[in-house]
Amino acid sequence: RSVFRNKDFITLQEWSVEEIDTLLDVSFDLKRKFALEIDTPYLNNKVAMLMFFEESTRTRNSMEAGLAQLGGHANFLDTSTMQISHGEVAKDTAVILGSYGHGIACRNCFWGEGNAYLRDMAAHANVPIMNLQCDLYHPMQALADLMTIKEKKEKTKNLNVSIIWAYATSHKKPISVPLSQSLLFPRYGMNVTLAYPEGFEMPDWVIEQARENAEKNGGTFKITHDMDEAYTNADIVIPKNWGSWVSDPKDKLGSKLLEENKDWKCTEEKMALAKEDAMYMHALPADRGNEVEDSVIDGPQSIVYEEAENRLHTAKAVMALTMGGRG
């Protein structure tokens, strides 16, 4: 039987489909109860430590609001104000924070370090470690995306989902969202197309794992560098480019890549290649204008706000099961 209490939530790849189904069931139940204003005190007086190495709007607030709604307390920790900035190691931080509460959640996206940091904490903490995004994975986002797809489409099997992203390890940026989606969606029988310009390859192990996940679960996984091909006949499109890099004044590369790849943008014209009832998804924040036209993100095919809203319900499900649940 599945034991959820104290189970780390670092990547959904380490959760079985049955366990993910339970997470989804609980998410839908919590959503329904939230709408009906039914109390859900599943984590009464429990405390989660939320460590953030980076900024966040959705992740931080869905966790904080979610834990309050479950009867507990979220302790927000800006890591630049912690002794981590003086070199305190993951083990010491994890053991001590774990002794004060019932779960530790962490966002650490430093390239090549974020996942290692989480794994180090998980090796030593006696409470569940929840990944709020690292350099490799963003399981909270992928779970909310799956919930949103299940809500909007009758079935996930044979759904054509195109992840049209342009991030790459070669540029030392987190690839956590497209990577997590590439691994998760084929496990639900979807036909996943990962599209990116040449030179923006996913690591080989991701491709191999995604293909294996597809083979085992009746989905497919393919790669294309042709954006039009990715849009054509898609049920769901999830496009992104380098827009968010541009907002970082230290990052000159984003502007250069945007200039070189002007076509790598979601437009009404591209959306017209997809199925008539195709949906547009984006984890947000979106760089309006550079990566998507306003008429698409604000248009009838966009489900970005529902997707973001579901972050609340899935975050609550993860906390309720790993910090509470049956031992």
> Judged by CB under 6 A, does residue 284 bind ligand CP?
yes
Considering beta carbons, is residue 134 or 283 the nearer one to ligand CP? 283
Length of the chain: 327
**By C-alpha distance, which of 70, 17, 30, 12 is closest to 314?**
30
Considering beta carbons, is residue 127 or 281 the nearer one to ligand CP? 281
Q: Which stretch binds ligand CP (CB under 6 A): 52-60, 120-128, 191-199, 207-215?
A: 52-60
Smallest distance from the beta carbon of 179 to ligand CP, in angstroms? 14
Q: Rounded to whole angstroms, how far apart are CA atoms 14 and 9?
A: 8
Q: Rounded to whole angstroms, how far apart are CA atoms 165 and 239?
A: 6
> Judged by CB under 6 A, does residue 240 bind ligand CP?
no
- DSSP type of residue 126: S
Considering beta carbons, is residue 265 or 311 the nearer one to ligand CP? 311
Q: Which residues pair with 279 in a beta bridge?
A: 236
Residue ranges of the alpha helices (H) in 101-192? 114-124, 139-152, 176-184
Considering beta carbons, is residue 214 or 266 the nearer one to ligand CP? 266
Q: Which stretch binds ligand CP (CB under 6 A): 55-63, 112-120, 266-274, 317-325?
A: 55-63
121-180 residues in contact with ligand CP (CB under 6 A) are 133, 141
> Judged by CB under 6 A, does residue 65 bind ligand CP?
no
Residue in 7, 31, 58, 102 binding ligand CP, rule: CB under 6 A: 58
Considering beta carbons, is residue 116 or 284 the nearer one to ligand CP? 284
Exposed, middle or buried, 135 (CB in 10 Å: 0-12/13-18/19+)?
buried
Smallest distance from the beta carbon of 258 to ligand CP, in angstroms? 20
Residue in 11, 27, 59, 156 binding ligand CP, rule: CB under 6 A: 59
DSSP helix/strand/coil, 232: coil
Q: Which stretch binds ligand CP (CB under 6 A): 50-58, 157-165, 199-207, 267-275?
A: 50-58
Instruction: Pull the structure tokens for residue 44.
Output: 């009464």
Smallest distance from the beta carbon of 141 to ligand CP, in angstroms? 5
| Strand ranges in the chain using DSSP code E only, listed in sequence order | 47-52, 73-78, 103-108, 129-134, 160-164, 191-195, 220-224, 236-239, 279-280
Considering beta carbons, is residue 59 or 93 the nearer one to ligand CP? 59
Locus of tokens 């460590």:
51
- Helix 176-184 vs helix 204-217: crossing angle, to nearest 10: 30
* Apex 52 CA angle, 73 and 201, nearest 5: 130
DSSP codes, 150-162: HHHSS--TT-EEE
Smallest distance from the beta carbon of 36 to ligand CP, in angstroms? 27
Instruction: Pull the structure tokens for residue 42.
Output: 């599943």
The number of CA neighbours under 13 Å toward the Cβ of 33 is 18
Residue in 13, 22, 56, 261 binding ligand CP, rule: CB under 6 A: 56
Select the residue whose beta carbon is closest to ligand CP and give its number: 59
Locus of tokens 């924070």:
97
Per-residue string for binding with ligand CP, 2-41, x by CB under 6 A?
----------------------------------------
Q: Which stretch binds ligand CP (CB under 6 A): 51-59, 181-189, 232-240, 271-279?
A: 51-59
Contact residues: ligand CP, CB under 6 A: 56-59, 133, 141, 283-284
